[in-house]
A and B are shown apart, each in its own frame.
Chain A
Amino acid sequence: MNILLYLVPMALFLGLSGLGAFMWSLKSGQYDDMEGAALRVLSDDDLPK
């Protein structure tokens, strides 16, 4: 059962980093414009001309 000593912290760490990522995305306003984000991907503005 010693494996638990590695696995449990690792599971928690992964879970927490997912939570952290969500909090960051929420804070940086990534959910403010859901429809726009889907459309922006279609624009070619970022390609070098």
Chain B
Amino acid sequence: MEQGADYSHYIRQSGDGCAMMDLAVEDITCAACIGKIEHAIGGLNGVELARVNYTNRRLHIEWAAGRADPASFFTALKKIGYRAHPFSATSVESDEARQLQWLMRCLAVAAFGAMNIMLLSVSVWAGDATAMTSETRDFFHWLSALIALPVAAFAGQPFFTSAIRAIRARSLNMDVPISIGVLLALIMSVYETAHHAEHAYFDSAVMLLTFLLFGRTLDHAMRRKTREIAGNLASLRVPLATRQENDGSLTSVPAGALQRGDLVLVRPGERIPADGILIQGSSAVDESLVTGETRQRTVNIGDEIYAGAMNFSGQLLFRVSAAGDNTLIGEVERLMDHAMTAKAKTMRLADRVARYYAPFVHLTALITALGWLYFGATTHDAIIAAITVLIITCPCALALAVPAVQVAASGAFFRARLLLNAGDAIERLALVDTLIFDKTGTLTLPQPDVVNRADIPDDLFALATRLAQSSHHPLARAITQAHDLPPLDNASETAGAGVSALIDGTEARLGSARFCDAEPQAEMARAQDPEASLIALRFGTRTAILLIRQSLRRDAVATLAALQAQGYKIGILSGDRAEAVAPIAAQLGVAVWSGGLKPTQKTARLSELAAQGHKVLMIGDGINDAPALATAFASISPVTAADLTQSCADAVFMGDGLAPVAQGLAIARRARHLMMQNLSLSVLYNVIALPLAMSGWVTPLIAALAMSGSSIIVTLNAFRAQGKVQTSQIRNPLAEAMTTGAGAPQSRTGP
């Protein structure tokens, strides 16, 4: 069937007749790939620019609108061996990119100001010793003011806006004392300079902004990296839907571009791209990604079908609809809304500190002023002393304490193949004491696998993989993934039965037991493993039965045992039938488990655990797990999870193993330890500096030394969160994510 592809969803037009598109490209592994790809695409007719971004594995193409066919880009890339996926940045990602750029601009301005003012300040400090005239000192102070005021007005914006927002919401964050400190330091310095005084604090104010912006920029750069990886993976997984137009022709469109009311065709072996009502055809669908249930459901005309389900046997035509309130998806969304609002806001460590810190500092400044007045100082001196207290306690180290560790730890998380979604995930992961796993797709691998591989003679198994290449049946993929053998030339598929081929005059068949005439053997196999799906193979007189089932992740037993040994309580809550959960729980040595749970029951169990004082980490992948993930204290999902589920998880892990979960917990605990250490260090700094400031001993020189010293100590301490880096472990997680194709099983569109 001829079918065009519609990429208009991804193409952006610029004003001057130029069209642009971004592609996420798989398998970019070396420097040579850059040139190869740019040549191949740049040489196409009409293409004006093709530029590979090696850091985020994306290709940017610009062409004269109408003069090049977007589909030709994909063919050209395929010809030189790269798979590409059209890509559109999520609004979150482009927001973060813009934010990062703005922060870098602020940082550059602040650094420029800090360096130039410090140049002048050092001259003044040196001049104190060599009898600089007071006129020259005033001149330098005025110059500093000339630089500092515009610089602070520009570079201070991120702090001022955030502080104003916090005050409007009647709360306090770290930016409130920072903004007050900076503003007062500047006002006081201008006043003092105008009165020919000896000390001005322009250098402190601008240096403070520079340090803080540095920390904040790093924090954003880390988050941007995570977003880019997530964005690329999402584009790998964007399912293409086949839309039937009014004239009966078929077009390939990204699932996201489907509109309510569109007619969509789903062939056997493809995933259902959207929710809808079936209007033609009937089939068995596997909804394990939706409900966790591994048994297939038969759907007929008029039934509701859900996005994410795998279509097994028949061709389906359905009309896209928004999920009704009574459907599963509707219920999941209601539960999630509820969970989001009901979730006791776990306050971030830094904000919790800020809540006590800000009033404390401002109170101390007040006491200082009153104390000086009481002991007979002039109002001017009392105010100067109070403002010095505010400057010296400006929470520079304190504001760096947590983000610096987050940035350093993110490197370790990357290496452990865990991507953080939420900034405060580290703090929460560190406090977890109970782990609740979902079964399907989390403890087990999302793709089914041949479980009795060892019982089948090698030559028969090789034959099965070659026959399976010619099948569109979803289970065939479980067989083909074991071997990379070429398909048989003369193989033909009988829909609903299997594949057959002639080899040297002998017929080979792969398919249902009846198709292969192997029903007695199939009965025996079924008795041995009632949960598995059966595929039979006949070659002449020889037969074999392949048992196909979702198998446990390779390291699941070891990882869970290790976690239990570390004192974590472990449980399984599954949407699958109890009979299917029991053997898995037994194999893993998990005593606490339940099956057949509805999303409401899952969240109820989690709330119960929370009420008993447990801090629960929920690990799940299905759409039915989404409310549970949102309810739990912390949450992780595999990268193969449904989009909805991933979006409400704190972290996402890549790869076939569960090890990232265990490693991530260890890194998080270590990072939290360092955060607490850093916070104590900054408190210690204040304990030393505060009395000095209150007693009026602090000069601008001491302030500058103390502030930069404490900030540097805190930052260096944070780097310990990176852990020991072994050279063999350094790898680009993005490249890896793209080459392992960590996406959900793609529907294969056969020849």
Contact = CB atoms under 8 A, between A and B. Distances in A.
A47 interface: no
Contact of A23 (B30, B108, B136): B108
Contact of B109 (A19, A33, A34, A39): A19
A37 B205 CA distance: 36
Contacts of A1: 136
Contact of A40 (B31, B105, B139, B147): B31
A19 to B, nearest CB: 4
A40 B105 CA distance: 26
Given A4-B139, A33-B55, A36-B53, A45 B35 contact: yes
A39 B54 contact: yes
A22 B116 contact: no
B101 A36 contact: no
B25 to A, nearest CB: 12
B52 A36 contact: yes
A26 B624 CA distance: 44
Given A12-B116, A43-B31, A34 B108 contact: no
B143 interface: yes
Contacts of A34: 55
Contacts of B147: 12
Interface string A20-43: 001100100001111110011011
Given A1-B136, A18-B112, A39-B31, A32 B119 contact: no
Contact of B54 (A18, A23, A31, A35): A35
Nearest to B51: A33
User: Which of B54, B119, B136, B732 has the most chain A CB atoms inside 10 A of its CB?
Assistant: B54
A44 B105 CA distance: 34
Please classify the interface of chain A as helix (H, G, I), strand (E, B), loop, or mixed, using the class held by over half of its residues.
Answer: helix
Given A4-B139, A26-B104, A35 B119 contact: no
B34 interface: yes
A36 B30 CA distance: 10
A15 B115 contact: yes
A35 B55 contact: yes
A42 B31 CA distance: 8
A35 B331 CA distance: 45
B53 A32 contact: yes
A10 to B, nearest CB: 12
B127 to A, nearest CB: 11
A47 to B, nearest CB: 12
Contacts of B30: 39
A26 B101 contact: yes
Nearest to A21: B108
B54 A33 contact: yes
A43 B54 CA distance: 14
A29 B112 CA distance: 20
Contact of A43 (B35, B105, B112, B732): B35
B31 A16 contact: no
B105 A26 contact: yes
Nearest to B30: A39
B140 to A, nearest CB: 9
Contacts of A15: 112, 115-116
Contacts of A43: 31-32, 34-35
Nearest to B132: A1
B42 to A, nearest CB: 11
A20 to B, nearest CB: 10
Contacts of B32: 43
B53 A19 contact: no
A35 B225 CA distance: 13
B112 to A, nearest CB: 4
Contacts of A32: 53, 55
Contacts of B143: 8
A8 B35 CA distance: 47
Contacts of A26: 101, 104-105, 108
A39 B119 CA distance: 37
A8 to B, nearest CB: 6
Given A31-B104, A33-B55, A19 B112 contact: yes
B34 A40 contact: yes
Contacts of B105: 23, 26
A11 B108 contact: no
Interface in B88-121: 101, 104-105, 108-109, 112, 115-116, 119
B136 A19 contact: no
Nearest to B100: A31
Ranked 3 nearest A-B pairs via Cβ: A36-B54, A39-B31, A19-B112
Interface of A: 1, 4, 8, 11-12, 15-16, 18-19, 22-23, 26, 31-36, 39-40, 42-43, 45
Interface of B: 30-32, 34-35, 52-56, 101, 104-105, 108-109, 112, 115-116, 119, 136, 139, 143, 147, 732
12 contacts: A8-B143, A12-B116, A15-B112, A15-B115, A32-B53, A34-B55, A36-B34, A40-B31, A40-B34, A43-B31, A43-B35, A45-B35
Given A8-B143, A12-B147, A36-B34, 8 more contacts: A15-B115, A26-B101, A31-B104, A35-B732, A36-B52, A36-B53, A40-B31, A43-B34
